Structures are given as C-alpha cells and as structure tokens.
Amino acid sequence: MGYAFYVLPDGREAGYGVVADCDHPGCSERINRGLGYLCGENPDGHRDPEEPGCGKYFCEQHRAAHECPNPACGVYSDDERLCCGLAKGHVLPHNDPIEELTFGPTA
C-alpha cells in the first residue's frame, strides 16, 4: 500500500513512483521514495519526537547503517519478532504492536 507520488510538507517529492538516489552521503544507489526505503514508519513521522526514523530514504544497505539521529528504541518483544515502535529515549512505556494485534480471548 502507498502512493506513487506526493509532496512532503518540507517540499520533498516522495512515493514509490519517485526514483531517487540513496540519501546516504556518497551513495548513488538507485531507489524510490516509497515507504520500503524510508527510515521510519511515516514520511512525516520524524517531526514527532515519539516516532523513530529520520524521514530520509536509503538503499537496503544504508537503511540499517546510517547513524540515524532518531533511531528506534530497539527493544524487542519476548519472541523477538518486533521491536518497540517508538523512538529511542521515549518517555512513554515500551510499545509492542504485536501484543495489541493478538490481544483477545485465548483459544
């Protein structure tokens, strides 16, 4: 899911239809500005102090290694499937989206 083209509030063009270079300095890997290459969950999420991600777009190699100024919390669930979806250093309790999804009566 996503949009092929849109303009972010800061004027950058984004969407999976927008071809661009990786935002890492010196890297010219061709990517697109779809959510799959975004650092963060939401293109504008970097404005929210509780949301991880710097809002830049990186190739596969640099998405995990770009000295992000706003990394995710990095706390994993007991099953180590999902990390806390909040920014590192957040003040709210750790967030575990899986727990919410699977919450309900047990079989």
Binding residues for Zn ion, rule: CB under 5 A, are 22, 24, 27, 29, 39, 54, 59, 62, 68, 73, 75, 84, 86, 94
Least separation, in Å, of the C-beta of 54 and Zn ion?
A: 3
Least separation, in Å, of the C-beta of 1 and Zn ion?
A: 22
* CB-nearer residue toward Zn ion: 100 or 105: 100
Least separation, in Å, of the C-beta of 106 and Zn ion?
A: 26
CA distance 69 to 92: 19
SS3 45: helix
Least separation, in Å, of the C-beta of 76 and Zn ion?
A: 10
* CB-nearer residue toward Zn ion: 24 or 33: 24
**Which own/partner contact pairs does 16-24 have at CB distance under 8 Å and 24+ positions apart?**
20/57, 22/57, 22/58, 22/59, 22/62, 23/56, 23/57, 23/58, 23/62, 23/66, 24/58, 24/59, 24/62, 24/66
* CB-nearer residue toward Zn ion: 67 or 104: 67
